[in-house]
Amino acid sequence: MQPAKDSFYIELRNRLVAVDPQRTIVLDGALRPAIAVLENEPPNPTPPICDCFLLHWGSARLVRPSTDTLMALDCTIAYCTAGAEANAHLDRGRDLARLDNDLLAICSPAHTAKFDYSSGDPVALGSSLFWTPPALTAAKTMPPYIGREVSITLFFYPKVNQT
């Protein structure tokens, strides 16, 4: 399952660099594209991370247990923004729309090749994963923040030779 999770993140990260190279963030002292997998980050309580896509992994299951090993894995992508202080945060809705646009752009096309990153270097596994179109929930307001969560389900075969 880990290669699917890693490949999905890396693909979205690389697409974000291409779609919106200015969307970066400093996390743990390093400048990087503004997308992160929460379980890969330090477990410290931190203030809300704005203008960054945060991936959370949800439940996983076999899609057709009696016939094959196709797996489904839920992913939630959360993001929020406060707008700009210089604009009295009045542009937070517009910033959220820009985040929505970036997210929709990086989620298409809804498939990518699967790699094993456990050694540090990507090793092609000869298979791929695909995912559902992103489902955007209603925006939530937590002044001065506004944000939303997006649900995506990934599908993949956990074994290489079954694609």
Whole-number Å distance between alpha carbons of 50 and 134: 20
Query: Peptide bond preceding 45: is omega within 30 degrees of 0, i.e. cis?
Result: no
**Which residue in 4, 16, 34, 36 binds other proteins (CB under 8 A)?**
36
**Which residue in 70, 91, 98, 117 binds other proteins (CB under 8 A)?**
117
Residues 6+ apart with CB under 8 A from 60: 1, 71, 72, 73, 74
Q: Are 79 and 148 in contact (CB under 8 A)?
A: yes
Residues 6+ apart with CB under 8 A from 52: 25, 27, 34, 35, 36, 79
Whole-number Å distance between alpha carbons of 158 and 18: 29
Instruction: Report if residue 10 touches other proteins, rule: CB under 8 A.
Output: yes
Instruction: Report if residue 31 touches other proteins, rule: CB under 8 A.
Output: yes
Q: Are 70 and 61 in contact (CB under 8 A)?
A: no
CB of 73 to other proteins, least distance (A): 16
**Which residue in 109, 120, 138, 143 binds other proteins (CB under 8 A)?**
120
Instruction: Report if residue 21 touches other proteins, rule: CB under 8 A.
Output: no
User: How many residues sit close enough to other proteins to count as binding (CB under 8 A)?
Assistant: 24
- DSSP structural state of residue 126: E
Nearer to other proteins, 22 or 66 (CB): 22
Instruction: Report if residue 46 touches other proteins, rule: CB under 8 A.
Output: yes
CB of 123 to other proteins, least distance (A): 13
**Near other proteins in 132-161, by CB under 8 A:** none
**Which residue in 17, 27, 113, 139 binds other proteins (CB under 8 A)?**
27
Q: Which residues in this chain contact other proteins in the complex, by CB under 8 A? A: 6, 9-10, 13, 27-32, 36-37, 39-47, 117-118, 120
